Amino acid sequence: MSVKLKIMKSIKALFLEKQRSNPYWGDIICLVEAVRQKKFSKFSLRKAMDELIPETHRFRKLDKMSYLEFLHTVSNTPEEQLKQAKNLLKEV
C-alpha cells in the first residue's frame, strides 16, 4: 500500500470517527476536527476534502484555496503555527 493511500485512509478514518461521535456536526466541522494537529500536507488535505466533502458543499476555487490554507494551519502543531505566523510577519 502506498504512503499516499495510507494518509488518505487515516484522514478518512479520523473523519468517519468524528462523524460517528458527533452526528449533529456538519461535514466541514468533522474534517476540521479530524485533522486538528495531525500534521497533514496541503496535498493530502486537498485530496481528503475532494473525497469527503459532498458535492453540495463544494467551494468556489478562491474559497477552496482559503479553506485549504485554514485546514493546513489547523493540522499543524502550535510550534509550527508560531513559525508560520513569524514567516508571515517577515513578508509584510
**Average model confidence (pLDDT) across the chain:** 80
Contact 21, 14 (CB under 8 A): no
DSSP 76: S
**CA 17 to chain CA centroid, nearest Å:** 15
All three cell numbers of 61: 476555487
- The tens-digit pLDDT sequence of the chain (92 residues) is 555 555 556 999 999 999 999 999 999 899 999 998 888 999 999 999 889 987 776 667 668 888 888 889 888 867 666 567 566 656 65
H-type alpha helices, the chain: 3-21, 27-35, 42-52, 61-75, 78-91
Q: Based on the structure, what is the number of domains in the chain?
A: 1
- Is the Cα torsion angle 29, 31, 34, 39 positive or negative in sign? negative
Distance separating alpha carbons of residues 29 and 63, to the nearest angstrom = 16
What pLDDT digit, counting tens, does each position of 24-41 carry? 999 989 999 999 888 899
Range of the domain at 49: 3-91
